[in-house]
Homo-oligomer: A and B are copies of this chain.
Amino acid sequence: MRAEAGLKDAALLTDLYELSMADAYVGLGKNEPATFELFVRKLPPERGFLVAAGLADALDYVLGLRFSPEAVSFLGEQKRFSDGFLKFLESFKFSGDVWAVPEGTIVFGSEPIVRVTAPIAEAQLLETFLINCIGFQTLVASKAARVIYAARGKPVVDFSLRRTQGTDAGMKAARATYLAGFSGTSNVLAGKEYGIPLSGTVAHSFVLSFNDEEEAFRAWAEKNPDNCVLVIDTFDTVEGARKAAKVGKELLEKGHRLAGVRIDSGDLIDLARRVRHVLDEGGMTFAKIFLSGNLDEKAVWTAVANGAPVDAFGVGTSVGVCDDAPSLDIIFKPAEVTIAGTKVEVMKFSKGKATLPGVKQVYRKAEGGEFAGDSIGLQGEDVEGAPLLAQFVSNGTLVKSPETLEEARARAAEGLGMLPQQVRRLSNPAQYRVALSPALSALVEKLKARRA
């Protein structure tokens, strides 16, 4: 599923100026080939890498982009657009090429994630959506990879839907976290649409709907004998664990095993230890302990590093909104344009917002099963390393399918495994080596000299 697929006039999910510029390009006879590249200028604080995500949605949008009569009519009412441009939109269909790194690929700052070559009006019209789509999913996949690193093999489940920024974000967060290595999601629609395993326990409200906690636990066990996870912190967590053990014993007598308990508040590490003790004393050695409640990668790391007896984590808000860095400095900029019939490499010189010129490719070296440095070079340049960008769309036609979610997940797992430890760590990561190739360096120098 793509959230935008059900949205009427998704073509208008763009900034007004994209349409104004496209109008000008068409009207000025300047709708000639250009190459735009999507990349993250600078990684958020504490980040050593990103996990690229969102390409499947992006390709779907690009190839399906049409302007309905209603959309064109709305634009006409704005009295801003030329008749010729409105006609252009009526028959709009993307006719260019798209190159991209497959979903799940590890990327770094300045490296192109998507590269579009098309008549400039077409490329320009993709800007807003591509940034939105790839930006958010890459943001969340990258955050989720940090949680996975912190959990060191213990399963982590996405609980973010209620606090994501809208429902499209909820769907994309479920998908991006799974891509990055999460084991499941509580988001039922994401389970249905993406095939992600569903996970869920029970809430405090259920406990509160009974006269006492033990009665609530017993009722839940009765309804869920083989899948019974009890939330034990509504009143007193340790006392809750005792009641859980009691109800677990009753379950056992009926031939079922208590699946586990969930702790959602308080000093989670200390409570996990005390609860483990109570469960074990009560013969519930097989019952698992799930932790949730405002967890992020640092809380997960602390719990695991302190040997807290935790079996799985539910992580929601922090990953779903990427709380410590809720946006990426991601942009879509021209790298080459056509001026008076000639292809010209371009770069932006704005202070702190400079860009790299030319149609680029990323070349990655690996040594001994580890990534050993990237070069950003020109497409077709002879540079050591495997090229990361592959062609997905040629002349408006899909020539390579985006990876399935499972394939992207496997690719992310492989890439995360090949990242040097010092680049992967949660705090103060080492900077991975990304160099400019000889040809790209020379091009930058040439353009700088021309401007000086």
Q: How many residues in A have their beta carbons less than 8 Å from beta carbons of B?
A: 111
Contact A186 B321 (CB under 8 A): no
A13-B170, A166-B168, A234-B350 known; A128+B202 contact, CB < 8 A: no
A74-B192, A132-B164, A350-B233 known; A209+B169 contact, CB < 8 A: no
Of A250-258, A322-330, A379-387, A406-414, the segment with at least 4 beta carbons within 8 Å of chain B is A322-330
Would you give the shortest CB distance from A167 to chain B, in whole angstroms?
5
Contact A127 B162 (CB under 8 A): yes
A12, A347, A348, A350 — most chain B CB neighbours (10 Å): A350
Cα distance A120–B208 when bound, in Å? 12
Question: Does A398 interact with chain B (Cβ within 8 Å)?
Answer: no
CB within 8 Å of B: which of A143-176? 159, 161-172
Question: Does A189 interact with chain B (Cβ within 8 Å)?
Answer: yes
Chain B residues near A394: list those with CB within 8 A: none
Cα distance A21–B34 when bound, in Å? 55
Cα distance A124–B34 when bound, in Å? 52
Chain B residues near A20: list those with CB within 8 A: 200, 202, 223-224
Chain B residues near A13: list those with CB within 8 A: 161, 167, 170, 187-189
Cα distance A204–B332 when bound, in Å? 11
| CB-nearest residue of chain B to A235 | B349
Contact B166 A132 (CB under 8 A): yes
A132-B163, A192-B12, A327-B163 known; A265+B204 contact, CB < 8 A: no
Of A22-30, A90-98, A361-369, A422-430, the segment with at least 4 beta carbons within 8 Å of chain B is A22-30
The one of B165, B186, B352, B451 in contact with A15, judged by C-beta atoms closer than 8 angstroms, is: B186
Cα distance A334–B234 when bound, in Å? 13
Cα distance A211–B342 when bound, in Å? 11
Would you give the shortest CB distance from A24 to chain B, in whole angstroms?
4
Cα distance A36–B24 when bound, in Å? 54
Cα distance A7–B189 when bound, in Å? 10
Would you give the shortest CB distance from A450 to chain B, in whole angstroms?
11
Chain B residues near A18: list those with CB within 8 A: 203
Q: How many of these chains are in the complex?
A: 2
Cα distance A133–B162 when bound, in Å? 8
Question: Does A286 interact with chain B (Cβ within 8 Å)?
Answer: no
CB within 8 Å of B: which of A186-201? 186-189, 191-192, 198-201
Chain B residues near A347: list those with CB within 8 A: 208
The one of B167, B227, B327 in contact with A80, judged by C-beta atoms closer than 8 angstroms, is: B227
Question: Does A446 interact with chain B (Cβ within 8 Å)?
Answer: no
Chain B residues near A211: list those with CB within 8 A: 339-340, 344
Chain B residues near A136: list those with CB within 8 A: 164-166
Cα distance A167–B222 when bound, in Å? 42
Question: Does A435 interact with chain B (Cβ within 8 Å)?
Answer: no
Question: Does A219 interact with chain B (Cβ within 8 Å)?
Answer: yes
Would you give the shortest CB distance from A326 to chain B, in whole angstroms?
4
Question: Does A3 interact with chain B (Cβ within 8 Å)?
Answer: yes
Q: A24-B223, A24-B224, A168-B169 are in contact. List 18 more A-B contacts (CB 8 A).
A: A7-B167, A10-B189, A12-B189, A16-B191, A17-B186, A17-B203, A20-B223, A21-B203, A28-B222, A127-B205, A132-B161, A132-B163, A132-B170, A163-B330, A166-B169, A168-B168, A169-B169, A209-B334
What are 27 sample pairs from A and B whose C-beta atoms fall under 8 A apart? Answer: A3-B3, A6-B8, A12-B188, A13-B187, A13-B188, A13-B189, A15-B186, A15-B187, A16-B199, A18-B203, A21-B205, A28-B222, A34-B209, A75-B188, A120-B209, A127-B203, A133-B167, A136-B165, A136-B166, A163-B328, A165-B169, A165-B327, A166-B166, A168-B168, A211-B344, A266-B351, A320-B327
The 4 closest A-B pairs by CB, nearest first: A16-B200, A166-B168, A168-B168, A6-B6
A-to-B contact residues, CB < 8 Å: 1, 3-4, 6-10, 12-21, 23-25, 27-28, 30, 34, 36, 71, 74-75, 78, 80, 82, 120, 124, 127-129, 131-133, 135-136, 139, 159, 161-172, 186-189, 191-192, 198-206, 208-211, 219-220, 222-224, 227, 233-235, 264-266, 317, 320-323, 326-328, 330, 333-334, 337, 339-340, 344, 346-353, 451
